[in-house]
Structure 1
């Protein structure tokens, strides 16, 4: 089955990386569809559901299609874990108000289990 590829805005291709028991395998997929990372992710998911090829994305993004049976999981023992996004910001006391509000929101969401 062909792979559905992603490309960053810089033009760099997105490699697929799989890990199991400390072994890492990196694959540069080729396939019938090349989409921009982010903006066209939904198009790639729809193409995978239509049977065009295999897609590699974060499990949470594909969970609705996996749960409904629209997509079939493959290589599950090799799926990478994702501990979540990280936010790095200057540790200054006087952050701009929008950044302070965002940091406070992310911290509150993480504590409440929503993040």
Structure 2
């Protein structure tokens, strides 16, 4: 699922994508992927692509939050969490710092 999400983010020209390894650190997920879209429409399109590809490849239905507004869309695919932000919203919440500051295993993706 991680590879699929990263592939879709790359295909959709998402920006500043990072993957943070959460394995053994939380029961939420094994990986958190954080990325940005340029606008609400771009964020929504990226999320739609990931959701559709997950269904097409038999990963089932993920839980999705934030699609109507598309400022911040969260796709919870079980072992992978994908956050897609507009840049201003991403800067405000700064999840990278919250989840990655003391975790040097955070890696730049792509």
TM over 0.5: no
Q: Which has the higher strand share?
A: 2
TM-score (normalised: structure 1):
0.29
TM-score (normalised: structure 2):
0.30
Q: Which gives a bigger RCO, structure 1 or 2 (Cα 8 Å, sep 6+)?
A: 2
